[in-house]
């Protein structure tokens, strides 16, 4: 595996539920990311955290709420989701070096979310 | 703005034959280019990247890619495909700038290698 773990691997939730996705990276990286992967759509960047600070929110609806308590952990809190939010949610991490933008990202296995 | 196009949804190739997965990009500035592979029920795995220097980049599992600035392309190649190479392949681009980590992905190309 890549050193990035995600739990749970599968989640089924109703539209009125509240749940959280968890990501942990064991690579000592300083940046973490949430992506959404839907069928027949390109991979969509949702949020970026650098040194625990959110640096990018890609116009994500407020029913998705990220949290980064430290550089190794990233959460995605979910509430009042819609069926179209069903997708594979991928977490990634990278080591960002000042002035260098060539670092690759390492991905977790994803959480398959189904909203009923 | 930056964008990536993978013109083929699927590529079929016989085992042992050469494999090519196409990628073209559009950026305003110098690009950093990446290839990732995704196996069923797995996350994306990094294959290779182009930052600067030699236009031919060698990566994991015998894959290589050639950066062509005039054609704005970064095609992924493997001289002899294996059945185990069957997977979903993504090209991605980032433009060099002072800040921002945004990596833009193409739509993906499914590769099917038949025995």
Task: Indicate if the pLDDT at residue B95 is higher than 80.
Answer: no
Provide φ and ψ at B61, rounded to 5°. 60, 30
Query: Cβ(A85)–Cβ(A113) under 8 Å?
Result: yes
Distance of CA B16 to the CA centre of its chain: 20
Task: Indicate if the pLDDT at residue A28 is higher than 80.
Answer: yes
Task: Indicate if the pLDDT at residue A1 is higher than 60.
Answer: no
Q: Does A111 touch chain B (CB under 8 A)?
A: no
Residue that has been written with the tokens 């995704």 in this structure: B38
pLDDT-derived band at B97, boundaries 50, 70, 90: low
Task: Indicate if the pLDDT at residue A40 is higher than 80.
Answer: no
Spatial CA neighbour of A23 closest among A86, A74, A89: A74
Testing the interface with B: which of A6, A68, A101 to mutate, by most B Cβ within 10 A? A101
Mean pLDDT calculated for residue range B66-91: 96
- Structure confidence at residue A99 (pLDDT): 62
Task: Indicate if the pLDDT at residue B96 is higher than 70.
Answer: no
pLDDT-derived band at B98, boundaries 50, 70, 90: very low
* Beta-carbon contacts below 8 Å between A and B: 60
* Nearest CB partner across the interface for B45, out of A2, A43, A110: A2
| Rounded (10°) CA dihedral A109, A112, A113, B2 | 60
Say how far apart CA A59 and CA A81 lie, in whole Å: 16
Spatial CA neighbour of B53 closest among B28, B26, B37, B33: B33
Q: What rounded mean pLDDT belongs to chain B?
A: 91
Mean pLDDT calculated for residue range B11-28: 96
- Structure confidence at residue B49 (pLDDT): 94
Share of chain B above pLDDT 70, in %: 94
Testing the interface with B: which of A10, A40, A43 to mutate, by most B Cβ within 10 A? A43
Chain B residues whose beta carbon lies within 8 Å of the beta carbon of residue A110: 41-43
Chain B residues whose beta carbon lies within 8 Å of the beta carbon of residue A41: 107
Mean pLDDT calculated for residue range A29-50: 89
Q: Which residue has the higher pLDDT, A56 or B64?
A: B64
- Structure confidence at residue A9 (pLDDT): 96
Chain A residues whose beta carbon lies within 8 Å of the beta carbon of residue B65: none
Spatial CA neighbour of B50 closest among B70, B64, B29, B71: B64
pLDDT-derived band at A66, boundaries 50, 70, 90: very high
Q: Does B108 touch chain A (CB under 8 A)?
A: yes
Q: Provide the b/e sequence for B30-58 (b: ≥16 CB within 10 Å).
A: ebbbbbbbbeeebbbbbbbbbbeeeeebe
- Structure confidence at residue B29 (pLDDT): 81
Interchain CB distance below 8 Å, B101 and A55: yes
Q: Does B49 touch chain A (CB under 8 A)?
A: yes
């Amino acid at each position: 595996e890549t050193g990035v773990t995600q739990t749970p691997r599968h989640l089924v939730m109703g539209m009125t539920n509240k749940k959280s996705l968890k990501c942990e990276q064991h690579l000592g990286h300083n940046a973490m990311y949430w992506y959404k992967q839907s069928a027949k759509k390109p991979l969509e960047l949702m949020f970026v955290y650098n040194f625990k600070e959110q640096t990018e929110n890609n116009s994500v609806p407020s029913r998705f709420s990220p949290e980064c308590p430290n550089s190794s952990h990233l959460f995605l809190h979910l509430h009042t989701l819609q069926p179209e939010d069903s997708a594979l949610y991928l977490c990634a991490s990278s080591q960002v070096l000042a002035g260098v933008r060539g670092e690759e990202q390492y991905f977790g296995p994803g959480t398959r979310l189904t909203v009923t | 703005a930056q964008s990536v196009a993978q013109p083929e949804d699927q590529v079929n190739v016989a085992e042992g034959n050469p494999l090519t997965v196409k990628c073209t990009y559009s950026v305003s500035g110098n690009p950093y280019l990446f290839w990732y592979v995704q196996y069923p029920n797995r996350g994306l795995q990094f294959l290779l990247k182009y930052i600067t220097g030699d236009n031919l980049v060698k990566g994991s599992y015998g894959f290589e890619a050639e950066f062509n600035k005039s054609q704005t392309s970064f095609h992924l190649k493997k001289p002899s495909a294996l059945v185990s190479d069957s997977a979903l392949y993504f090209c991605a681009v980032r433009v060099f700038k002072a800040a921002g980590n945004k990596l833009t992905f193409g739509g993906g190309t499914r590769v099917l290698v038949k025995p």
